[in-house]
Each structure stands twice: as structure tokens, then as C-alpha cells.
């Protein structure tokens, strides 16, 4: 496997995430909202100090930092090994590259700001979805691709070989 071209995928996902967050931080203040499609899609700056959907915010800041740091490092090692392993399929590599790029983007946020920058804000009628970012989108799309492939492919086909 030629690794350098594949390393561009998580790098591009990371760059897109960081650039979008830099733009929104320079455009809006926390809680401020900019309508893109009125009544449906807004750019609303928020900071998630917890985990998914704002969970674990009750934990002390240092405990959250330790939990998120250890979980993030474990995920990067696990998914990174799969991503770089010989024999990993193209679809798996795309899925894992998106997951890695997104995880790095949110991880950098936590290290730099102590919170993840969220700004993509959708409303469906009376239901308001959680605000999220590009990194979350990359992680979700990667997880769906990887999960579908695991469910649909025979087990022997998705065992990468060790380097």
C-alpha cells in the first residue's frame, strides 16, 4: 500500500474541519445565529464541553479532559492501525480516513479550547436537532460506511493483515 496518498484523506478532512471552525469563530459570537435556509438550516456558534449530544458535562473539567484524552488516543491508535494495515479495502480506508480526520478535528478543539466548536444547526418543524460540525459529519459518514461494510461483507474479507 502506498500510504502517502491515503494520508491525504484524513488530512483534508481535518483541514476542512479546522478551516470551517476558524471561519465560524471569526464570523459569529457564542449563541449567535445566521440563517442559511430560514426555518430549516442555521449557522449557530456553540461550544460542546461534553461528549456526544453534550453528555458528561456534569463531570469535573479535569476528569472530562482525562476521559476524552484517553478515549481519543485509544480510538486514534485503533482506527489508525486499521487504516494503515496492509490489506485494508479501499472502502474501509475511506471510512477510517473520515473517522480519523473528524476525530483529530474534535480532539484538537478539546486541547485548544476545552470544548468542541459546533455550528451546523438544523430545525425540522418543531424539532431542533443538536448543533454539530464537519468533524462530527465525517465521523458519522465514516462510521456508517464502515458499519455497512462490516454487516454486508463476509467476515474473511474485512480482516486486514498486520504490517
- For the annotated catalytic residues, the residue numbers are 118, 136
**Separation CA 128–CA 109 (nearest Å):** 24
- Cell of residue 65, nine digits: 479532559
Backbone angles phi, psi at 46, to 5 degrees: -145, 165
**Separation CA 131–CA 82 (nearest Å):** 30
**Separation CA 110–CA 45 (nearest Å):** 16
Amino acid at each position: 500500500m502506498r500510504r502517502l496518498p491515503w494520508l491525504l484523506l484524513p488530512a483534508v478532512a481535518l483541514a476542512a474541519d479546522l478551516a470551517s471552525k476558524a471561519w465560524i469563530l471569526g464570523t459569529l459570537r457564542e449563541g449567535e445565529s445566521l440563517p442559511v435556509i430560514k426555518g430549516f438550516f442555521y449557522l449557530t456558534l456553540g461550544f460542546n464541553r461534553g461528549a456526544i449530544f453534550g453528555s458528561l458535562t456534569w463531570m469535573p473539567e479535569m476528569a472530562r479532559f482525562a476521559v476524552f484524552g484517553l478515549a481519543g488516543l485509544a480510538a486514534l491508535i485503533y482506527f489508525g492501525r486499521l487504516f494503515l494495515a496492509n490489506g485494508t479495502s479501499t472502502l474501509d480506508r475511506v471510512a477510517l480516513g473520515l473517522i480519523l480526520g473528524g476525530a483529530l478535528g474534535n480532539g484538537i478543539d478539546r486541547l485548544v479550547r476545552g470544548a468542541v466548536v459546533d455550528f451546523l444547526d438544523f430545525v425540522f418543524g418543531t424539532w431542533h436537532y443538536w448543533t454539530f460540525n464537519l468533524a462530527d459529519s465525517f465521523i458519522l459518514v465514516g462510521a456508517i460506511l464502515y458499519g455497512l461494510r462490516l454487516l454486508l461483507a463476509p467476515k474473511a474479507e474485512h480482516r486486514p493483515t498486520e504490517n
